[in-house]
A and B are shown apart, each in its own frame.
Chain A
Amino acid sequence: MPQVSLTVNGKSHTVDVEGRTLLVEVLREKLRLTGTHVGCDTSQCGACVVHIGENSVKSCTILAVQADGAQITTIEGIAAADGTLHPMQEAFREYHALQCGFCTPGMVMSAIDLVKKHPSGLSEQEIREGLEGNICRCTGYHNIVKAIAAAADVMNGKRTELARAAE
């Protein structure tokens, strides 16, 4: 049985897997990191998005063996050690960028990658196009887009507070 070594949220793990074991199965079932969701299991919905290195990927369409040796970040790993939320999490809270919440972990992980790859800023259209791989079946995109725009400003140093201006 193959063995894989993964660093997940800064912590090293070595786990026994089958060749066919998916990365998301290791995260959820072996490491009990159940914040990463499985929605469609066909790499369309984006509920399973995690980061491998700097890149957002769909963990339902990666074998655990393919991730051997990788640095992985899940939704559980983005807040500060003292519990302070990541600016993207804080923005999702502030702008109420969720309804049922199922897609939220994947949305947050994709959004962080999107903002990091656009350090000079993002238009609303770029945010909407950048979310192509994430589906919110409540169709609650409006506040998600607003939250990402606000978090982008904080992450890029354009403003320090997330507090909403009068709208």
Chain B
Amino acid sequence: MYDFQYHKPATIADAVKLLAADPEARPVSGGMTLLPALKHRLNKPTSLIDLSGIAELRGVRREGDAIVIGGMTTHYEVATHPQILAAIPALARMAATIGDTQVRNRGTIGGSLANNDPAADYPAAALALRATIITDRRRIPADEFFLGMFTTALEADELVTGISFPIPEKAGYAKLRNPASRYSMTGVFVAKGPHGVGVGVNGAGPCAFRQAEMEAALSANWSVDAVANVKQSPDDLNSDIHGSAAYRANLVTVMAKRAVADAG
């Protein structure tokens, strides 16, 4: 790992100021993705801006008909928080499948959203639940946030401070894990919420996406059978040593069926 300067600001404003002053600075939350990347010298920041000292980024609260989760909330906290378990249990169950216990004790929802790994779990939930990503300067609908592989609508010095999930009537999640890495080969999050039915897919393509045909089918008839006959096109899906695009396309249908069953 190359060396770097280290800063631990106490406020969002100070963190943004540090990031704006140095285009080569990088924020770090749990560091569960960034530190391995630094070890591989895939990234060479001049300084790391540690967000763990910022109290404003912590906490879970209910705001009207939504659950708002602070960016520095760990996966373990999402998986076990009573308000999330009560309002969006599928989201808590999803968080309980990220990495392993030790990773969940460090990794954060804000870091995962900002990183936008194609196999990350949360983006599919954010899309399906029509979440809004909250930053230090604006609110970005999930549909406009995830732009491509490891690419989001965030500006270079912009920080995810939280995410607001409208509380759904029902939601479910299913994924197939790679047996070795345990990353999602394909995961599908389904939700029936105040803004309609949402189906979010992760792991299958270079970026999480919504499956419009499945959304239409579930809107007409919320059932496992409704998605069973919807075929995902393999065009633009990932193809690698772990599985072909056609295999992943088939998994979208299989995981969608399991996710609807999970939602009940």
Contact of B102 with A46 in the complex, beta carbons under 8 Å: yes
Binds B, one of A27-35, A52-60, A71-79: A52-60
Q: How far apart are the CA atoms of A43 and B35 in the complex, in Å?
A: 10
Residue ID in chain B nearest A53 by CB atoms: B105
Is A57 a contact of B4 with CB atoms below 8 Å?
no
Q: Is A14 an interface residue (CB 8 A)?
A: no
A152 close to B (CB within 8 Å): no
Q: Give the Cβ gap from B14 to chain A, nearest Cβ, in Å.
A: 17
Contact of B2 among A20, A57, A132 (CB under 8 A): A20
Do B48 and A43 touch (CB < 8 A)? no
Q: Does B195 contact A (CB under 8 A)?
A: no
- For B36, the chain A residues whose CB sits under 8 A away are 42-43, 61
Q: Collect the chain A residues with CB atoms within 8 Å of residue B32's CB.
A: 43, 61
Report which of A19, A46, A133 forms a contact with B48, defined as CB distance below 8 A: A19
Are B50 and A66 in contact, with the CB atoms below 8 A? yes
Question: B52 at the A/B interface (Cβ < 8 Å)?
Answer: yes
Contact A110 B6 (CB under 8 A): no
Interface size on A, as a range, is 20 to 34
Q: Are B3 and A132 in contact (CB under 8 A)?
A: no
Q: Indicate if A41 sits at the interface (CB-CB under 8 A).
A: yes
B31 touches A66 (CB 8 A): yes
Q: Which size bracket describes the interface of B in this complex?
A: 20 to 34
Q: What residue of chain A has the Cβ atom nearest to residue B4's Cβ?
A: A19
Q: Across the two chains, which residue of chain A brings its CB closest to B34?
A: A61
Residue from B5, B38, B101, B182 within 8 A of A114 (CB atoms): B101
B50 near A20 with CB under 8 A, answer: no
Tell which of A19, A57, A63, A66 touches B105, judged by Cβ atoms closer than 8 Å.
A57
A66–B52 alpha-carbon span in the complex (Å): 8
Bound complex: CA of A18 vs CA of B38, how far in Å? 14
Contact indicator A42/B39 (Cβ below 8 Å)? yes
Q: Does A121 contact B (CB under 8 A)?
A: no
Residues B106 and A41 in contact, CB atoms below 8 Å apart: no
The verdict on A49 contacting chain B, using a C-beta distance below 8 Å, is: yes
Tell me the B1-51 residues at the A interface (CB within 8 Å): 1-6, 8, 28, 31-32, 35-36, 38-39, 47-48, 50
Which A residues are in CB contact (< 8 Å) with B182?
A: 132
Question: CB < 8 Å: which of B3, B28, B31 contacts A18?
Answer: B3
In the docked arrangement, what's the CA distance between A114 and B105, Å?
Answer: 12
Query: In this assembly, does A10 line the interface, its C-beta being within 8 Å of a C-beta of chain B?
Result: no
Say how far B31's CB is from chain A's closest CB, in angstroms. 7
Docked-complex contact A133 and B99, CB < 8 angstroms:
yes
> Could you tell me the distance between the alpha carbons of A132 and B177 in the complex, rounded to whole angstroms?
13
In contact, A63 and B6 (Cβ under 8 angstroms): yes
10 extra interface residue pairs, beta carbon distance < 8 Å, beyond A42-B36, A43-B35, A56-B102: A20-B3, A20-B38, A55-B105, A63-B6, A63-B31, A63-B48, A66-B50, A110-B101, A132-B100, A132-B101
A–B Cβ pairs within 8 angstroms, 8 of them: A20-B1, A20-B3, A55-B76, A58-B106, A62-B35, A65-B50, A130-B101, A132-B182
A-B pairs, top 7 by smallest CB distance, nearest first, are A133-B100, A55-B105, A132-B100, A19-B6, A20-B1, A133-B102, A58-B102
